[in-house]
Copies of this chain bind each other. A is one copy, B any other.
């Protein structure tokens, strides 16, 4: 091989200078008008759906700051997403009515209606988990059909609504009942933790396509987990939602509801990289609470690497589909 420019130290170092310049997701151009964009990276700084943590609105900024050093490629995937498709930072969803969970959900839905209408595939950074249903609702209105769901989380987030609002961080039962997601094409990965009642997650276990607990994940191994995910969602369109608390808090301490006995980054990234080729119509990363991260910002780094990974998977799919 030749001593190409890309192996020069100065160019390499620039990619690690995360603190330099204006911070955008993966140092992509900021295009609030959605122009020239195949994949849109979007911040949803909302903490209006979860009373726990309540620092999730600080997530997008923290991921921008750190992921500004992540305009990179994933070694094992050998995908350069920035060469394949046009990737932009679309900014944050404006949330002036953040104090009201229902109005906030409406604001999120309205923003994504524009995104889907423009033919942009969104990869979003929350915010708490209440941001996902309105995104999916916007897609549902655009497409008219439910979507499959790949849901990494230590909690099923599938309960009856709160007395205060339907738009909570645990809205996947409601999303299924509303026909927004297809429960049979929904797979949850990483469920664990002690429970307020032993029946708590019964709905999910009985109604979803597949629930892989952390215990089962460890027992069957990454390869089988990947196979199960592929089997459940199949070739149809699927959305990927990733709650950072699926990782063990030793690996991602900065989350709202840390659950012990979790998965390592090694286990999780193997599965994530195993999803190449699926028909992903969007993805999000939720639950990051920056003030609970450690000084080395390892949760921000994990979120940034996931952001890059999801972008790679989708870019690869779009390029393969001739859309890049």
Q: Chain A interface (Cβ within 8 Å of chain B)?
A: 1, 3-4, 6-17, 19-24, 30, 43, 45, 47-49, 51-52, 54-55, 57-58, 60-61, 64-65, 70-76, 78, 80, 89, 91-92, 94-101, 103-104, 159-165, 168, 170, 192-203, 206, 213, 215, 218, 248-251, 253-255, 257-258, 260-261, 264-266, 269, 291-298, 301-302, 305, 308
| Contact partners of A14 in chain B: CB under 8 A | 96, 196
Contacts of A258 in B (CB 8 A): 296-298, 301
Q: Nearest B residue to A257 by beta-carbon distance?
A: B16
How many Å lie between the Cα of A295 and that of B78 in the bound state?
Answer: 36
Q: Is the CB of A99 within 8 A of B162?
A: yes
Copies of the polypeptide in the assembly: 6
| Most chain B beta-carbon neighbours within 10 Å: one of A57, A65, A100, A194 | A194
Q: Which residue of B lies closest to A11 (CB)?
A: B196
A15 touches B196 (CB 8 A): yes
**Cβ contact within 8 Å between A164 and B22:** no
Please report the C-alpha to C-alpha distance between residue A266 and residue B293 in the assembled complex, in whole angstroms. 22
CB proximity of A298 to chain B, nearest CB, Å: 5
**A3 contacts which chain B residues (CB < 8 A)?**
160, 203
| A76, closest chain B residue (CB) | B215
Given contacts A65-B65, A253-B294, A266-B261, contact A73 B197 (CB under 8 A): yes
Provide the bound-state CA to CA distance between A96 and B164, in Å. 8
Q: Which residues of B contact A160 (CB under 8 A)?
A: 3, 7-9
**Residues in B whose Cβ lies below 8 Å from that of A17:** 51-52
A159 CB contact (under 8 Å) in B9, B43, B197:
B9
- 11 A-B residue contacts at CB 8 Å? A3-B160, A3-B203, A7-B202, A22-B30, A51-B98, A71-B196, A194-B308, A253-B298, A254-B295, A260-B265, A294-B296
Closest to A13 in B: B51
Given contacts A9-B170, A194-B305, A266-B261, contact A52 B16 (CB under 8 A): yes
Top 3 closest pairs, chain A to chain B, by CB:
A6-B197, A253-B296, A100-B164
Chain B residue at minimal CB-CB distance from A293: B295
The distance in angstroms between the C-alpha atoms of A73 and B13, with both chains bound, is 39
CA distance A32 to B71 in the complex (A): 20
Please give, as numbers and ranges, the residues of chain B lying within 8 Å of A76 by CB-CB distance. Answer: 215
Smallest CB gap from A192: residue in B: B75
Contact B196 A6 (CB under 8 A): yes
Q: How many Å lie between the Cα of A249 and that of B94 in the bound state?
A: 29
A54–B103 alpha-carbon span in the complex (Å): 18
- Chain B residues, CB < 8 A from A162: 9-10, 13, 97, 99
Distance A225 CA – B165 CA, assembled complex (angstroms)? 45
Assess A302 versus B260: contact at CB under 8 Å? Given A218-B266, A249-B296.
yes
Pairwise interchain contact A20-B92, C-beta atoms closer than 8 A: yes
